[in-house]
């Protein structure tokens, strides 16, 4: 019997322990797949989106514990995603990542209330620590 149950069926009389559900928003398919596999190997439940619009559409029907978003993506950049998440899903925890040199867009993300930021490239241990930070 698995304790990893559907969150919509909670309240069955026993204390279920759910894996943390993470939504990874990354336009680079190779990096998106790498992050998914790395997190799944650490027992995270991972959902992925190619861009901010896809992610926001998904979140209208599903819940996640934390969103890991890139800042530079086509169609809707990470700053726009963070602002939209703050408006539509104020309780969701957000971790922002970026590898773009120059202007410190991670500082802008921090101003918008992300729980942590990661500068690419980063180690998986750094990612795991960032996801756990601020966990209630």
Domain positions in the chain:
19-130
DSSP 115: S
Q: In this predicted model, what pLDDT tens digit does every residue of 24-60 receive, in sequence order?
A: 999 999 999 999 999 999 999 999 999 999 999 999 9
Supply 34's token pair: 């790498």
Contacts (Cβ under 8 Å, ≥6 apart) of 14: none
**DSSP type of residue 8:** G
Mean pLDDT for the stretch of residues 1-15: 37
The pTM is what?
0.85
pLDDT value of position 15: 43
In whole angstroms, give the CA distance from residue 27 to residue 18. 27
Where would I find the beta strands (DSSP E) of 26-63? 45-49
| Domain 19-130 homologous superfamily, CATH | Response regulator (3.40.50.2300)
Give the pLDDT band of residue 78 (cuts 50, 70, 90): very high
Tokens of 5: 């149950």
Band the pLDDT of 117: cuts 50, 70, 90: very high
**By the 8 A CB rule, do 98 and 122 touch?**
no
pLDDT at 40: 97
Question: pLDDT > 90: what percent of the chain?
Answer: 73
């Amino acid at each position: 019997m698995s304790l990893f149950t559907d969150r919509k069926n909670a309240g069955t009389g026993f204390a279920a322990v759910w894996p943390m559900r993470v939504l990874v928003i990354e336009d680079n398919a190779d990096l998106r797949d790498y992050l998914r596999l790395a997190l799944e190997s650490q027992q995270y439940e991972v959902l992925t989106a190619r861009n901010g619009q896809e992610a926001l559409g998904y979140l209208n029907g599903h819940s996640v514990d934390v969103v890991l978003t890139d800042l530079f993506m086509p169609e809707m950049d990470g700053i726009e995603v963070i602002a939209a998440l703050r408006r539509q899903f104020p309780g969701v925890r957000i971790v922002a990542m970026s590898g773009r040199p120059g202007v410190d867009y991670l500082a802008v993300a921090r101003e918008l209330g992300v729980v942590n930021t990661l500068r690419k490239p980063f180690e998986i241990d750094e990612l795991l620590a960032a996801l756990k930070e601020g966990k209630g």
